[in-house]
Structure 1
Amino acid sequence: MSVAAGLLLYAALMSWWGPRVLAKITTRGINPLLGVTAWLTAIVGVLGAWAAAMVVLALDAADALSNSVVGTMCLEILGHLGQIDMARPVAATIAVTLIGTSLALSLVFGLRIARTLRTLRTTSHEHAMAARVVGRPTPWRDVFVVNADQAAAYCVSGRPRAIVVTSAALASLEDDQLAAVLAHEYAHLTGRHHQLLMVLRAAAAGLPSLPLLAAGPDAVSRLLEMNADDSAARRHGRHPLLCGMAALVGRPTVPAAALGAAHTAVLDRAARLAAPAPAGVRWRDRVTLWTAISLTIAVPVFTGALCHH
């Protein structure tokens, strides 16, 4: 089996079976940031494996064009043990086709991802600017109050960024609850969670047929909400945050470009905050996630090394 075939097999298996495994080991969000790392490692690994396989195929095809005696062209590239003698024009046609197809697919997917990412960034920046224009400033940095009958609190990235709190939310939240909710939103902005999700959503839009990329944005968004919960709970306690989430839950969803304290997987997050996992469970979860991350990195490396020989 050639290097390209090994990388393609790894990418295919990870693309279709990876989401099931990752969802199983990260769904509880015991160590949310490590769970995010596991998803990102898998996604980068798959994209890297696909890209590397295309490069190897193109280089092998180009090498065949430069040889005076052309053999083992197509099936040898894909791992065939024997040799298939071809006339030079046939081999040249296959080589050019492989190279052209690889470049065309890369260009199409790259442009689609870049276009989606630009749209998401523009929408987010415009929303943040609109919130600053329409809302009234508050003593809290980057926080603006917008008059609305529905209680909501969310943040949007931009230049500059903004945290939006509706007047109904301001009236319904106690001081400690509001502080916890704002800490949650600050955690999103400080961690640059919006930018990460934009990239994942753009990749999913560019390659919608890959289940791993399709599942990535929602899974990572859920874990990032849990990570922001942990940050807010460390500063203000779990109880104020739970009460703040309860006051905001059930309201209309926040804008697509935003991250809200009571927007994603609220029941699971509330249960997680109300009954934190014991220390032993947290350590076992860390070991499981680090094992998954290590295997995700090691498998394509060893596959390439073994196939090369």
Structure 2
Amino acid sequence: MNAVVLALLVTIGILTSAVAGPWLLRHSAPALVHIPRLAALILTTSVVLWLLAVLALGPMTAWIISGPAVLPGQAAEICQRCLVSANPLGGTFVQTGVPAVLLLALPALAALTVVARAMQHLRRRRRILRGLFNEISAISTRGTMAGYPVLLTNGLEPTAFALPRKWGGIVISTGALALLTPEKRVAVLAHERAHLRQHHHGIIGCIESLAHSLRWVPLVAAAADALPHYLEIAADDAARRRTGTTAVAGALLKLGDPLTSDAQKNLPSNAGFLLHAAGPQRIRHLVAPVSARGGAGPAIATVVQLAVLASISGGVVLPYVTAAVNGCT
């Protein structure tokens, strides 16, 4: 196949995955809700692999085109030798006025920019979570409940949520304790404990921060938005294994949805950063889950898409790494 045609097909494939990815994720949901932890991994991998595939377009294009040398003589010679050594296509095919080094430098600069903005977003998130902990700890007492360390807050509002372990962990209000039976309390605590044990705060923090600069990409936005849903289902499943379906569904029904329930108006500021054991929208999955069969096809297509993106990024990066290890010979 002509190398230029191959490059065009790869570019079209990456663009198609960006646009069609949300449709695949949405129609995969009936299957993915049955494997929420794997679903979270698929969503996370989708964001990372798509970004790597895009960044690989520059180095791949550098194999196809040739342009003027802009580096000093010896540096240009070394760069050209490395390009030739890494090139699996057998040489350049198009003469242009674009320096090959630019095709290598721009993706590297873009990657540094995305990472820098992600780190900035992570620092902001940590400041907010630290502030939430300070706000909550001022009105809470530490204790142990059903074997779980908790922060107990005084208030009639039935709230229960998890902060990262270093900033408080499980938080539950006296209003929630009054509303829940002992079995439902254990279900809530087991749910929140699962968030901590499975490192959900770290997962969602990294993906949200990485997606911060890429929300304009439909695939990235869809994956970042769907991730909290699957993490909550994963925590529900862990709680169900501890206490049974009835206790978990009953606790969800009692606590209500923190986004809509009038009883949740007094949640701390920036509550969007919390992972919480509430939300009747998940009860149906617990008591009457949909068949996974309907989402099997899109789920398989999603995995195939990930394999293609991995092949693109790996197929470009590995020759460069091999060339560098071998001294560009």
Q: TM-score, normalized by length of structure 2?
A: 0.74
Specify whether residues 10 and 103 from structure 1 end up closer, same or farther in structure 2 by C-alpha distance, changes over 3 A only: same
CA distance in 2, matches of 1:276, 1:216: 22
% same residue: 23
CA distance in 2, matches of 1:14, 1:125: 37
After TM superposition, give the deviation of residue 97 of structure 1 in Å: 4.9
RMSD (Å) for aligned C-alpha atoms = 3.4
Contact persistence 1:153–1:166 (CA under 8 A): yes
Contact persistence 2:22–2:218 (CA under 8 A): yes
Match of 2:83 in 1: none
After TM superposition, give the deviation of residue 6 of structure 1 in Å: 4.4
Contact persistence 1:6–1:304 (CA under 8 A): no
Match of 1:53 in 2: 57
CA distance in 2, matches of 1:61, 1:82: 5
After TM superposition, give the deviation of residue 177 of structure 1 in Å: 0.5
Q: Which amino acid in 2 is paired with 1:293?
A: V
What is the 5 A alignment of 1:99-178? 99-140=104-145, 141-178=148-185
Aligned length: 286
Specify whether residues 148 and 16 from structure 1 end up closer, same or farther in structure 2 by C-alpha distance, changes over 3 A only: same
Q: TM-score, normalized by length of structure 1?
A: 0.79
Matched, 1:39 2:26: no
After TM superposition, give the deviation of residue 96 of structure 1 in Å: 5.6
Specify whether residues 9 and 300 from structure 1 end up closer, same or farther in structure 2 by C-alpha distance, changes over 3 A only: farther
Q: Which amino acid in 2 is paired with 1:296?
A: L
Q: Which amino acid in 1 is paired with 2:286?
A: L
* Range moving further from structure 2, 163-172 or 38-47: 38-47
Contact persistence 1:145–1:164 (CA under 8 A): yes
Match of 2:228 in 1: 221
After TM superposition, give the deviation of residue 103 of structure 1 in Å: 4.0
> What is the DSSP-based 3-state SS (H/G/I as helix, E as strand, rest coil) of the residue aligned with 1:142?
strand
Q: Which amino acid in 2 is paired with 1:213?
A: V
Deviation string, structure 1 residues 236-286 (Cα, Å, up to 9, x no partner): 0111111111111024275122101114xx32x101111245xxx558867
Specify whether residues 187 and 290 from structure 1 end up closer, same or farther in structure 2 by C-alpha distance, changes over 3 A only: farther
Specify whether residues 233 and 286 from structure 1 end up closer, same or farther in structure 2 by C-alpha distance, changes over 3 A only: farther
Name stretches of at least 5 consecutive residues in structure 2 with no aligned partner: 70-75, 81-86, 320-329
Match of 2:325 in 1: none
After TM superposition, give the deviation of residue 59 of structure 1 in Å: 6.9
Matched, 1:259 2:275: yes
Q: From 307, 311, 314, give the equivalent of 1:297.
A: 307
Match of 1:275 in 2: 288
Contact persistence 2:46–2:223 (CA under 8 A): no
Q: Which amino acid in 2 is paired with 1:240?
A: A
CA distance in 2, matches of 1:252, 1:230: 24
